[in-house]
Amino acid sequence: MNRTRPTKLLLLFLFALLITSCQSSTEPSTGNNSNTGDWPSYTFEELVSNSDLVVYGEITDTKNLDGDPPSQESNLNVLKVLKGDETNKTISLKLTDPSYYVSSDSKYVMFLDSTGSYYTQKTYNSLLIEKNGVISSSLQGLSGEFTIDEVQNQISSVMAK
């Protein structure tokens, strides 16, 4: 019996398997951040449409909690509601990804989901920090530097569609 033929077929199969596993995926990238884990990536329009609440606010205090997974609880002083019906001037946030924790005394535009007792970020790219009156965004559909009024106008345009 010829043993070289099954061995050659096995080696050919293993080589093909190796080549296939080394090739890059042909699926489009869902974001430009390598730390996205299982987070979906949304465009600006999708964030506006799919978020329960969009606010501009300032973080007043934070508390990091150990656990599995770790989380951060924060209070946000709402300076402006950009989308939604929130009437409270202070809302509670719970963030579950240490890569995207917020800082006290920092201002953000936040695309949030309600869980009942607190709000959480929509996805990894749903927190836009404001520095010196400028909100920087790399979101598809909102890329560049903006004032809060310009961001609000863009949100209103999306909601008018």
Phi/psi of residue 141, nearest 5 degrees: 100, -10
86 CB-contact burial (10 Å; exposed 0-12 / middle 13-18 / buried 19+): middle
Place of tokens 């929130």: 86
CA–CA separation, 37 and 124 (whole Å): 9
Structural domains counted in the chain? 1
What residues make up the domain containing 96? 44-160
Classify residue 153: in a domain, yes or no: yes
Which residue, among 75, 74, 78, 54, has the nearest Cα to 64 in the 3D structure?
74
Classify residue 108: in a domain, yes or no: yes
Query: 119 or 10, which is more confident?
Result: 119
Token code pair at residue 155: 């949100």
* CATH number of the domain that residue 134 is part of: 2.40.50.120
Classify residue 35: in a domain, yes or no: no
Classify residue 24: in a domain, yes or no: no
Q: Is 53 helix (H, G, I), strand (E, B) or coil?
A: strand
Instruction: Kindly list the distances between the CA atom of residue 147 and the CA atoms of 85, 101, 118, in Å, as whole numbers in the listed order.
Output: 22, 23, 27
Classify residue 89: in a domain, yes or no: yes
Whether the per-residue pLDDT at 35 is higher than 60: the answer is no
Chain CA centroid to CA 122, Å: 6
Whether the per-residue pLDDT at 40 is higher than 90: the answer is no
Please give the pLDDT value at position 22. 41
Place of tokens 């949100």: 155
pTM of the model: 0.74
pLDDT digits (tens, 9 = 90+) for 140-151: 999 999 999 999
CA–CA separation, 7 and 65 (whole Å): 56
Instruction: Kindly list the distances between the CA atom of residue 71 and the CA atoms of 45, 96, 102, in Å, as whole numbers in the listed order.
Output: 27, 4, 11
Place of tokens 């770790």: 70
Classify residue 22: in a domain, yes or no: no
Asked if 91 and 68 touch (Cβ cutoff 8 Å), the reply is: no
Whether the per-residue pLDDT at 155 is higher than 90: the answer is yes
Classify residue 16: in a domain, yes or no: no
- Residue range 4-12: mean pLDDT, rounded: 59
Classify residue 71: in a domain, yes or no: yes
Please give the pLDDT value at position 17. 42
